[in-house]
Amino acid sequence: MSSPKSLPPLVEPAAELSKDEIARYSRHLIIPDVGVDGQKRLKNAKVLVIGAGGLGSPALLYLAAAGVGTLGIVEFDEVDSSNLQRQVIHGESDIGRPKADSARDSILEINSGIDVRLHKLRLEPENAVELFADYDLILDGTDNFATRYLVNDAAVLAGKPYVWGSIYRFEGQVSVFWEDAPDGRGLNYRDLYPEAPPPGMVPSCAEGGVLGVLCASIGSVMVTEAIKLITGIGDPLLGRLMVYDALDMSYRTIKLRRDPERQPITELIDYEAFCGVVSEEGQAAAAGSTITARELKELLDAGKEIELIDVREPVEWDIVHIEGAKLIPKDRILSGEALSELPQNRPIVLHCKTGIRSAEALAVLKSAGFSDATHVQGGIVAWANQIDTSLPVY
């Protein structure tokens, strides 16, 4: 229903609905606020979804079911068995296939009338603005800060609104950002996060985990916002951040305001450098103090006296660990609490899952005087893939 806070419909209606479309979308058509006019707008809409992963999966399925006429998918990855716990657009028979192809097949099985456009590429500053120009609305369900800032800045430069979603463990967030929104209501992601959090501060889902069904909860809210924007009904989440906690089963919204200090976005930048996966301290510590999984095996096989420290969390240790390692979670090293437990008489070798957390811990050890400490490039994933293939990869 239109409210004082509604925005004008984003998309003009298509010329007509066919007899088959009227039958298919009848449950929409009999809602007065959607009706034939709203369904024609959905038919005419072009929506670009960044990623066919955790959030992209339910979003694409429900956008297709709702009758959004053109769906673009930006996705260069392949389906992996660890995706299936939450990425419901893919199935077991899709493992090893490009996610874009798998997603297209699922979409067309739901609704063969959709024009599915695959963009099998990594979103980059060189291609983002031009790509966004072809669509009415962007949905961003990516899982890293570098891509989120790129999507935001490209959407600003292309003059497009976008729906943003984020998930981690049991919590999700959704908002709508649109710098050029009417009535001076424009906001963008930099009003919520003026700067990226320090590297290593916010673990990714691969590092910290996510409850699979959380993707459905947040993805469905994102699609709801997309439908509202396209048809011009209801009060969109522009200027509000919705926070969902699955354990409390609570939804709350927080008002967002424009950051008065924010500078206008005039160009795209190097977002990897802007966000930094590993801190400068971690990079500096790792330079010249990094060994490979094979080099670690050679040290162990030669009977070298080393202390192998696993800086992951106890739940990760329970999944898989290297024989002979000792568990000291990263936070106990970063706080300084665990430094007294480390031996002074033999070299320390740190490892984590992929090498990001161990680089941060290595920087602390170096500054505490453990000058011969090293860390393992690629972490336990590299060890399981290259050295002991009997170990599970998570």
Handedness of CA 331, 351, 289, 270 (dihedral sign): negative
What is the distance, to the nearest Å, from the Cα of residue 163 to the centroid of all Cα atoms in its chain?
13
Query: Active-site residue numbers?
Result: 205, 352
Handedness of CA 85, 86, 92, 98 (dihedral sign): negative
What is the distance between the alpha carbons of residues 375 and 171, in angstroms, rounded to a whole number? 32
Rg, C-alpha atoms of the chain: 24
Helix, strand, coil shares of the chain as percentages rounded to 5?
A: 40, 15, 45
What is the distance between the alpha carbons of residues 164 and 59, in angstroms, rounded to a whole number? 12
Asked if 77 contacts 84 with a C-beta cutoff of 8 angstroms, the reply is no
Asked if 310 contacts 351 with a C-beta cutoff of 8 angstroms, the reply is yes
State the residue for tokens 């898989």: 320
Listed residue (363, 298, 352) closest to 320, CA to CA: 352
What is the distance between the alpha carbons of residues 86 and 154, in angstroms, rounded to a whole number? 28
